[in-house]
Amino acid sequence: MQIRTQRLNLRPLDYADAGPMRLLAGDIDVARMTGMLPHPYSETAVRAWLDRVGQGEEGIVFAVTRERTLVGCSGYMPMDAEHAELGYWIGKPFWGTGFATEAARAVVAHAFDVHDFAYLRAGHFTDNAASQRVLSKLGFYLEGEEMRDCLARGERVPCLTYRLDRQRAEAVLRHP
């Protein structure tokens, strides 16, 4: 399955993505803003993660590319029949381009179109203002705060949690 946006292509991951992913996701500034990316990120660890993606253990995950260059990943993990958790990361060389919002918008639309979810959830660490802006643009509203593990930081970190209901998503996605 591929999704095309104005500037991006979202496609299934493959092992050719391992090297670029190790460099982009392995950057401490990227990894520290995610819960599950370790630092350092070895190619062996990337390949093990790609194995889990291929087996469906990591939910629905897309490589986010621009002109065949990997710029990040985005996807969602179904939590139950009613909802999934949205996730994304963009490599540091591509920060400030709007790619995170563009990719996440496409993934949100896909999640609601393909599944009968009532809502999506997402979260970001409290020191990640860029993700707060992405989620706000997509119509997510603040739900609460909790502590979440961050592998790259090696500690639990305060995380703001958000929710996007199907009806609100449909309204926001109609008016980009």
Q: What is the pLDDT of residues 17-64, one digit of tens each?
A: 999 999 999 999 999 999 999 999 999 999 999 999 999 999 999 999
pLDDT at 175: 72
Structure tokens at 95: 């920060």
Residue 122 confidence class, pLDDT cut points 50, 70, 90: very high
Decide if pLDDT at 80 tops 80: yes
Handedness of CA 141, 145, 146, 151 (dihedral sign): positive
Decide if pLDDT at 155 tops 90: yes
Task: Count Cβ atoms below 10 Å from residue 32 Cβ, excluding itself.
Answer: 18
Give φ, ψ of 84 to 5 degrees. -135, 165
Return the percentage of the chain with pLDDT > 90, whole number.
96
Q: Tell me the domain boundaries of the chain.
A: 3-174
Q: What is the CATH number of domain 3-174?
A: 3.40.630.30
Task: For the chain, give the mean pLDDT.
Answer: 96
Handedness of CA 13, 23, 128, 130 (dihedral sign): negative
pLDDT at 176: 61
Return the percentage of the chain with pLDDT > 70, whole number.
99
Mean pLDDT confidence for 135-156: 98
The pTM is what? Answer: 0.96
Decide if pLDDT at 121 tops 90: yes
